[in-house]
Structure 1
Amino acid sequence: MRFIRNYPKIMIGMLITACIIPLFVPYPSANAATGDVSCGPGCSRYDVVVIGSEIQGVLLAKSARDLGLNVVILDPRSKPGGELIQGQMMVLDEPNDKKKRSLVQGELKNLYAGYKAGSIRKQADFQRYFQKLIQGIPIRSGIVIQSLDIDSSDADKSIRSLSYKAKDGHNYTVQANYWVENTDHNALTGKLGVKRIPGMESIYNGKKPDYMAATFMLKLKKVNWNKLHLAILEDYPLTHVQTKYGPNSYVDWNFATGFSNITSNYKPLDSQLMLRGLNATDQKNGEVIINSLLIFDVDPSNPKSVASAVTKARAEAPHVVQFLRKNIPGFAKAELNGYPDYLYIRDYNRYETDYVLTEQDVMGSKMFWDNVSIGGYGMDLQGTRVMPKGNNVGTPDRYGLPLRSFELMSFENVIVVGNNVGATIKAYGSARIVPNTALAAQSIGIILGRESKHKRLKELTAADFTRIHQYLQKDYGIVLRK
């Protein structure tokens, strides 16, 4: 490990000889703290336990582990990878400022560079990229959380330990300094009795919680992308294209959006589904992936709800393809090219953090003393059954996302990442996209690795962050100041 490599050779020899520091052994070995007094016999202790394998939490885990922390990922899903790998959400949104400059920073710059160049487009490409990220990180999939041991003696509570059942049918216990909620269904935070941030229902004054639709990604082959591109070029100027095909309709050599004047005429077999405007990526060699088939009222915490949604979407997909063949240039010979195993979940419960990002912060380009990310992207609220067409409520310039929006309120040692970011629903419409939250997660992992031996996260001050921002820029090329 890096922290050992940096020791002088004589020190390494002394450590090995005296056996005073147990070396990290990948999970499920429990040598880190077996028999810890506060945890019990057979308990494993870690610096950081990440619940879920969405890419944001993986980046946090990787950054922390690279700096010597003892990390494990416990994933409630049966396979790792979340929406990127299992949901095959391989149509990447990019944050930009008002001058059209990309705001992608950190590790994801490698992913986006490959995506734009065409070297990371297909499922196997994304799988290879994800495998590189998780290499060396111990991970156990298919776990079920059984119980939590919570210390309520201080003003802020803390989680001491977590017990779970593994695929092998046995129960295990882990103890950690920090816990990270990294699922799309609140596997951890949903058990903590914390206050939910109002969601989509607040847009139309609804009384019941409501959520943006999920997506079932459509995978096609035998698409003639050149024909699609040339057909649109023939309809230029762009104003005429958008009058004919609908707002935001656009096609280049790699990506296509819009066509809502056409897709709005599609009549789904099931009222739970809707075909919105296209958001498509050319995966080369006639293969295309499309983020357009919406599914309303999916509860990601309920396996039956997810399974039902996937079944309905798979039944709908052939009919969608037939519609596209008849109505979209270049799709005349299109065929289905397999199905994803899971869904792209945009939105579920989010719980109050120490600072809840607001739409005023986003539109006002507010920067924070404890920035862990720089965000950008339209405040894009996808549809619900009540308001199926959704709404874009504003397009901001760059803005900051503070560490406090990733620290769960009332808990001293719980971090939320990815779609769990603390933000009002309008602010969430922008903050939710992966590059914004992934940069935050990577930054938090680095901060944990470099600061946690000296201070707790919630003890960090503005003066600390002046120093933190300096080394993030100098050592990682991450710029978090305006």
Structure 2
Amino acid sequence: MYTRSYTCIQVLREEQQSTDTSTYRKTFRGGIVMQVHDQWDVIVVGGGTAGAPAAIAAARNGAKVLVVEKNGYLGGASTSALVSPYANHYDAHGEPTIAGLFKEILDSLKEMGACHGPIRPKEGNPPWGKNPVITPFDDEYLKFVLTKMAKDAGVSFLYHTLLKDVWVEDGVVKGITVFNKSGAHTLFSKVIVDCTGDADVAVKAGAKTVKGREKDGEKMPVTVYCRVGNVNVDRVEEEIKRNRDNFRWYAIGSAEGDLPAGSQRKQLFCSGFWQEIAAAKVNGEYNIGRETLNLFTNVREGEVTVNATRVNFIDGTNASEVTAAEVELRYQTMSVVDFLRKRVPGFEKSFLIKTANEAGIRETHRIIGEYILTQEDVVKGTRFDDVVARGGYAIDIHNPGDSKSTWIQVDDSYDVPYRALLPVELEGLLVAGRCISATHEAAAAVRAMPSCVAIGEAAGTAAALATTRGLTPKTIDVQELKQVLTQNGVLLA
């Protein structure tokens, strides 16, 4: 972490203001080449599941916005990690808990024939909530939809770029230094929104954080998803109905309305195949530390997303550990594909279409915020006066160091308070996504992608309000924030 003095920042600002161009090169400290840009209203670090909506919301609400992203596209886990479908975002009464930008994203995908749902299961015992839905989508179309929404809103992009340092002045985050193939760049901003998933900005700024499970620091395992094609979904369904004891849960539904050619109307989701896995392990064919295999049909006929791999005891903020995990996970993926073809009815003629570009990281740092969301808040549905997002997904813990998962059902919907986005003892910084202020158990619920989209929209809107009102994230009128969110279609009650 670099904590620069006011003098250093002021020198850069004065030299920047003295130039006739908005971008120039400067040698600073030991010959490091830095490129200093004019100040932004809002910089969103990480253009993923929370970051893309944060940037869109901030720009639509009047801020000059830059999104800094390590990949060459937006979407995060939903695109680069191949995580699909969208998890439950409905309450116990069958009503949606999340709308706003999330609904707009779904509607745009539907218009392109790239989204089915939400699918309400007609048969099965899914554990996602009391009245759950699930929403398959096409990740490649999502890349375009998010890009178009951001571009139309006026967001500027800086791709293939990593965070290097954070500039802090008297407890206020003032800017960041990033690094890419062009070198190091210093970017100043009135408000920064940390959507890195790992709280990278907050950590480098000196924020108080917790990593992993509170009692021992262990983190949920990492996974690489894959997608396979030419699956006989009818045959898989027959197998589920023939041997229901072989599955932890399953859900069968169908996409409604007119569908484009090549679409998959029947939608099937399941977790199980215990018997097949046990037999394969006896023969040394399946060496994955996970008790079940999860399948989710996609929007295209015969396509299925597979969530089956697992590596434990990985620190997602340690590059060496993540690298080792990804190497192992590629081997596991091929083992899963072979297993499906050999032992699972309906997959006899299937083939691998795609593997995720990167491992899905479920848990690393979480900030200690003005409020810490708890398991009790999620399960009982605590209502907060400063609610800025809601959720309906159950607590879904992939147990650290274990082959099993734990589901904790929720009674109804739950609130995410604005204070959970605000790190203690720091100003000028908002945090959105899976690294907000929450316990290990509560984070296992709000890490679901629909919730992250909603939290990102709230953070981006708050950042825009702060910059346009001449305030800070902690001094804005939260009731005005709620009013703006509601006007933009966000469901807060």
TM interval, short-chain normalised: 0.7 to 0.9
Matches within 5 A, 1:3-402: 31=22, 42-77=36-71, 80-112=74-106, 114=110, 115-117=115-117, 121-135=137-151, 136-152=154-170, 157-168=171-182, 170-197=183-210, 199-200=212-213, 202=214, 205-206=215-216, 209-233=217-241, 235=242, 242=244, 244-252=245-253, 253-262=266-275, 264-265=277-278, 266-267=280-281, 273-274=289-290, 276-385=292-401, 387-402=402-417
Q: Deviation at 1:175?
A: 0.9
Structure 1 residues 451 and 32 mapped into 2: Cα distance closer, same or farther (>3 Å)?
A: farther
Read off the aligned partner of 1:248 and give its amino acid letter.
Answer: W
Matched positions, count: 427
**1:480 matches 2:492:** yes
Contact 2:164 2:177 in 1 (8 A): yes
Which residue identity lines up with residue 247 of structure 2 in the other structure? G
Q: TM-score, normalised by structure 1?
A: 0.80
Which residue identity lines up with residue 194 of structure 2 in the other structure? E
| Residue of structure 2 in register with 1:415 after alignment | 430
Answer with 212-221 or 92-101: which moved more: 92-101
Q: Which amino acid aligns with 1:227?
A: R
Deviation at 1:77, TM superposition (A): 4.5
Q: Which residue of the other structure, out of 444, 465, 476, is the alignment partner of 1:460?
A: 476
Q: Counterpart of 2:47 in structure 1: which amino acid?
A: S
Uncovered stretches (5+) of structure 2, i.e. residues with no partner: 1-19, 27-33, 119-134, 254-265
- The alpha-carbon distance between structure 1 residues 440 and 48, as it changes in their structure 2 partners (threshold 3 A), is same
Instruction: Give me the whole-angstrom Cα distance separating, in 2, the residues matched to 1:460 and 1:449.
Output: 10
Name the CA distance, whole Å, in 1 between partners of 2:329 and 2:44: 30
Q: What whole-Å deviation, never above 9, does each CA across 1:218-257 have from its counterpart, x for those lacking one?
A: 2111111122224434x3xxxxx54x22221333421311
Which secondary structure does the structure 1 equivalent of 2:39 belong to?
A: strand
Name the CA distance, whole Å, in 2 between partners of 1:192 and 1:83: 24
Distance 1:50 1:85 in 2: 18
Whether 1:424 aligns to 2:429 is no
Distance between the aligned counterparts of 1:263 and 1:332, measured in 2?
A: 14
Partners of 1:139 and 1:382 in 2: CA distance: 34
Amino acid at match of 1:469: K
For residues 251-272 of structure 1, what are the alpha-carbon distances to aligned partners after superposition, in whole Å with 9 as ceiling and x for unaligned?
3421311225246525487967
Query: Quick one: distance in 2 between partners of 1:336 and 1:395?
Result: 36
CA distance in 1, matches of 2:285, 2:150: 40
Query: What is the TM-score normalised by the length of structure 2?
Result: 0.79
Structure 1 residue 196: deviation in Å? 2.4
- Does the C-alpha gap of structure 1 residues 123 and 443 become closer, same or farther in structure 2, counting only changes over 3 Å? closer
8 Å contact kept, 1:94–1:104: no
Contact (CA 8 Å) 1:218, 1:290: kept in 2 or not? Answer: yes
| Partner Cα distance (1:269, 1:175) in 2 | 53
Counterpart contact for 2:100–2:491, Cα < 8 Å: no
Change (3 A) 1:391 1:41: closer
Partner SS for 2:308: strand
Q: Distance in 1 between matches of 2:342 and 2:189?
A: 56
Post-superposition CA distance 1:274-325 (Å, at most 9, x none) = 3633141233232211222222233332333333222222222222122222
Alpha-carbon displacement from aligned partner over 1:364-391 (angstroms, at most 9, x marks no partner) = 2111111110112111111322x32121
**Cα deviation, residue 162, structure 1:** 1.9
Q: Give me the whole-angstrom Cα distance separating, in 1, the residues matched to 2:324 and 2:211.
A: 26
Q: Specify whether residues 469 and 134 from structure 1 end up closer, same or farther in structure 2 by C-alpha distance, changes over 3 A only.
A: closer
What root-mean-square deviation, in Å, do the aligned CA atoms of Structure 1 and Structure 2 show? 2.9
Question: Greater CA deviation, 42-51 or 294-303?
Answer: 294-303
Relative contact order (alpha carbons < 8 A, sep ≥ 6): 1 or 2 greater?
2
Question: How much does 1:46 deviate?
Answer: 0.6
